[in-house]
A and B are shown apart, each in its own frame.
Chain A
Amino acid sequence: EIVLTQSPGTLSLSPGERATLSCRASQSVSSTYLAWYQQKPGQAPRLLIYGASSRATGIPDRFSGSVSGTDFTLTISRLEPEDFAVYYCQQYGPSPMYTFGQGTKLEIK
């Protein structure tokens, strides 16, 4: 089973700052199979990024995803007040199965 480790656990930043969230896979993961979600309290997760770097429909371009080896990164270029939430990475496979990272909480400093 592939384990996804997200860091940091909590990130404290101010609106307007740049956020960099990391997701490291325990073994090689195809970028095709890596996605990022945003979850606000009391709400379902919302897909932000799929295929490591493709934005889902309606997602602002301040959200971007990248990959380097087994390290995946979600970057929010300039934080808006509505961006403070929990973020999860997710990978698909091996065998048909989705696994999620433990989440990074992005909080207002």
Chain B
Amino acid sequence: QVHLQESGPGLVKPSGTLSLTCAVSGDSISSGNWWTWVRQPPGKGLEWIGEIFHSGTTNYNPSLKSRVTISVDKSKSQFSLKLTSVTAADTAVYYCASSGIYALFHWGQGTLVTVSS
């Protein structure tokens, strides 16, 4: 069973950079899955941020593409999210997930990131 665990600061200052890491266990990060970030503002719906394959190939949501970088560290079996120039609108629960067959099969528990001074 794949287990995903997000980690990172819960508070980021406006105009700063949000950085999160997702640790993967129970599956090889070099498997055929894509590794994905999704976010959910408080009380709202789900928004796909982007994904990465173990080769380093990435796909991003066009609405966030200019501010997002997703990277993978195969030696640590983890992948990471960086979101720059954050504002209050970026306050959300951030989930990491594994995707395959065009669906998100396994999810981390999520981590709340608040953008505030």
Contacts and interface: CB of A to CB of B under 8 A. Distances in A.
Contact of A96 (B38, B46, B59, B95): B59
* Size range of the chain B interface in the assembly: 20 to 34
B89 interface: no
B47 A96 contact: no
A20 B47 CA distance: 24
Nearest to B57: A96
Q: How large is the interface on A (under 10, 10 to 19, 20 to 34, 35 or more residues)?
A: 20 to 34
Contacts of A102: 45
B4 to A, nearest CB: 9
Contact of A97 (B45, B48, B101, B104): B48
Nearest to A91: B102
Interface of A: 32-33, 35, 37, 43-47, 50-51, 56, 88, 90, 92-93, 95-103
A60 B101 CA distance: 20
29 contacts: A32-B101, A32-B102, A33-B102, A35-B103, A35-B104, A37-B104, A44-B95, A44-B109, A45-B95, A47-B103, A47-B104, A47-B105, A50-B102, A51-B102, A56-B103, A56-B105, A88-B45, A90-B103, A90-B104, A96-B51, A97-B48, A97-B59, A97-B62, A98-B36, A98-B99, A100-B45, A101-B45, A102-B45, A103-B45
Contacts of B36: 98
